[in-house]
Chain A
Amino acid sequence: MQAPILQMTGITKRFPGVKALSNVDFRLFPGEVHALMGENGAGKSTLIKVLTGVYSIDEGTVTIENQAVSIGGPLEAQKAGISTVYQEVNLCPNLTVAENIYIGREPRKFGRILWNKMNKEAARLLKERLNLSIDVTLPLHAYSVAVQQLIAIARALSISAKVLILDEPTSSLDQNEVHQLFSIMRKLKNDGLAILFVTHFLDQVYEMSDRITVLRNGELEGEYLAAGLPRIELVLKMIGKDLKLLEELPKLSEEAGAAAGSIMITASELGRKGAINPFDLEIRKGEVVGLAGLLGSGRTEMARLLFGVDRPDQGKLLAGESGSPVKSPRSAIELGIAYCSENRKTEGIIDDLTVRENIILALQAARGWLRPISRKKQDEIADQYIKMLNINPPNPEHLIKNLSGGNQQKALLARWLLTEPELLILDEPTRGIDIGAKAEIQKLVLSLAKQGMSVLFISSELEEVIRVSDRVAVLRDRSKVKELGGGELNQQQIMQAMAGG
Chain B
Amino acid sequence: MLNRKYVPILVTFGLLAVMFAAGSFRYTGFFSAQVLYNLLIDNSFLIITAVGMTFVIISGGIDLSVGSVIALTTMICATLVERHGWSPVVVIPMVLIFGALFGTLLGAIIHYFKIQPFIVTLAGMFLARGICYIISIDTITVTNGFFTKAAQTKVPLPGGNISINVIIALVIVLAAIYLAHYTRFGRNVYAIGGSEQSALLMGLPVARTKILVYTFSGFCSALAGVVFTFYMLSGYGLHAMGLELDTIAAVVIGGTLLTGGVGYVAGTLIGVLIQGVIQTIISFEGTLSSWWTKIVIGLLLFVFILFQRLLSDRRVTLKT
Interface mask (B242-271 → A, CB under 8 Å = 1, otherwise 0): 000000000000000000011000000000
Q: Taking each of A74, A91, A94, A135, which has the highest tally of chain B beta carbons within 10 Å of its own beta carbon?
A: A94
User: In the complex, A74→B2 CA distance in Å?
Assistant: 33
Q: Is the CB of B318 within 8 A of A142?
A: yes
Q: Is the CB of A112 within 8 A of B191?
A: no
Q: Is the CB of A75 within 8 A of B203?
A: yes
What are the residues of chain B within 8 A of A99 when measuring CB–CB? 187, 191
User: In the complex, A95→B182 CA distance in Å?
Assistant: 14
Contact of A94 among B190, B201, B202 (CB under 8 A): B190
Contact of A103 among B1, B191, B319 (CB under 8 A): B191
Q: Which of B168-194 contact A (CB under 8 A)?
A: 181-184, 187-188, 190-191, 193-194
Q: Is the CB of B197 within 8 A of A106?
A: no
Q: Is the CB of B187 within 8 A of A113?
A: yes
Q: Residue A104 at the B interface, CB < 8 A? A: yes
User: In the complex, A135→B182 CA distance in Å?
Assistant: 20
Q: Is the CB of B191 within 8 A of A92?
A: yes
Q: Is the CB of A103 within 8 A of B261?
A: no
Q: Is the CB of A142 within 8 A of B1?
A: yes
Q: How many cross-chain pairs have Cβ atoms below 8 Å apart between A and B?
A: 71
With A113-B182, A138-B2: A95-B191 Cβ-Cβ less than 8 Å: yes
Q: Residue A78 at the B interface, CB < 8 A? A: yes
With A103-B202, A138-B2, A141-B319: A113-B184 Cβ-Cβ less than 8 Å: yes
Interface mask (B1-15 → A, CB under 8 Å = 1, otherwise 0): 110010000000000
Q: Residue B199 at the A interface, CB < 8 A? A: yes
Contact of A92 among B1, B190, B318 (CB under 8 A): B190
B3 CB → nearest A CB, Å: 11
Q: Residue B32 at the A interface, CB < 8 A? A: no
User: In the complex, A391→B181 CA distance in Å?
Assistant: 64
Interface mask (A132-157 → B, CB under 8 Å = 1, otherwise 0): 00010111011011000000000100
Contact of B318 among A74, A103, A141 (CB under 8 A): A141
User: In the complex, A178→B2 CA distance in Å?
Assistant: 28
With A104-B184, A138-B2, A142-B1: A94-B198 Cβ-Cβ less than 8 Å: no
Q: How many residues of chain B are within 8 Å of chain A by beta carbon?
A: 26
Q: Residue B204 at the A interface, CB < 8 A? A: yes
Q: Residue B136 at the A interface, CB < 8 A? A: no
Q: Residue A93 at the B interface, CB < 8 A? A: yes
Q: Is the CB of A94 within 8 A of B262?
A: yes
Q: Is the CB of B194 within 8 A of A93?
A: yes
B174 CB → nearest A CB, Å: 14
What are the residues of chain A within 8 A of B188 when measuring CB–CB? 103-104
With A103-B187, A141-B315: A93-B195 Cβ-Cβ less than 8 Å: yes
With A92-B190, A138-B2: A106-B198 Cβ-Cβ less than 8 Å: no
Interface mask (A96-140 → B, CB under 8 Å = 1, otherwise 0): 000100011010100111010000000000000000000101110
What are the residues of chain A within 8 A of B319 when measuring CB–CB? 141, 144-145
Closest A residue to B178 using CB positions:
A112
User: In the complex, A141→B183 CA distance in Å?
Assistant: 22
Closest B residue to A89 using CB positions:
B198
What are the residues of chain A within 8 A of B187 when measuring CB–CB? 95, 99, 103, 106, 113
What are the residues of chain B within 8 A of A343 when measuring CB–CB? none
Q: Is the CB of A92 within 8 A of B183?
A: no
B199 CB → nearest A CB, Å: 7
Q: Is the CB of A74 within 8 A of B195?
A: no
Contact of A111 among B183, B202, B203, B261 (CB under 8 A): B183
Closest B residue to A52 using CB positions:
B201
Q: Residue A90 at the B interface, CB < 8 A? A: yes
User: In the complex, A56→B205 CA distance in Å?
Assistant: 21
Interface mask (B187-223 → A, CB under 8 Å = 1, otherwise 0): 1101101110111011110000000000000000000
What are the residues of chain A within 8 A of B183 when measuring CB–CB? 111-113
Contact of A108 among B5, B184, B199, B318 (CB under 8 A): B184
Closest A residue to B204 using CB positions:
A104
Closest A residue to B197 using CB positions:
A90
Closest B residue to A86 using CB positions:
B201
User: In the complex, A104→B318 CA distance in Å?
Assistant: 28
A480 CB → nearest B CB, Å: 25
Interface mask (A252-264 → B, CB under 8 Å = 1, otherwise 0): 0000000000000
Closest A residue to B262 using CB positions:
A94
Q: Is the CB of B1 within 8 A of A138?
A: yes
What are the residues of chain A within 8 A of B315 when measuring CB–CB? 141
Contact of A155 among B197, B199, B202, B204 (CB under 8 A): B202
Interface mask (A4-36 → B, CB under 8 Å = 1, otherwise 0): 000000000000000000000000000000000
User: In the complex, A138→B195 CA distance in Å?
Assistant: 17
Q: Is the CB of B204 within 8 A of A94?
A: no
A393 CB → nearest B CB, Å: 39
What are the residues of chain A within 8 A of B199 when measuring CB–CB? 92
User: In the complex, A137→B6 CA distance in Å?
Assistant: 13
Residues of B within 8 A of A (CB): 1-2, 5, 181-184, 187-188, 190-191, 193-195, 197-199, 201-204, 261-262, 315, 318-319
Residues of A within 8 A of B (CB): 74-75, 78, 90-95, 99, 103-104, 106, 108, 111-113, 115, 135, 137-139, 141-142, 144-145, 155
* In the complex, the 5 A-B pairs of residues with the closest C-beta atoms, listed nearest first: A92-B194, A94-B261, A94-B194, A90-B198, A75-B203
A-B contact pairs, 24 of them (CB 8 A): A90-B201, A91-B198, A91-B202, A92-B190, A92-B191, A92-B202, A93-B194, A93-B261, A94-B261, A99-B191, A103-B202, A104-B203, A104-B204, A111-B184, A112-B182, A112-B183, A113-B182, A113-B187, A138-B1, A138-B2, A141-B315, A142-B1, A144-B319, A155-B202
Besides A92-B198, A95-B190, A99-B191, 9 new A-B residue pairs in contact (Cβ under 8 A), listed by A number: A92-B191, A93-B261, A103-B187, A103-B188, A104-B203, A113-B184, A113-B187, A141-B315, A141-B318
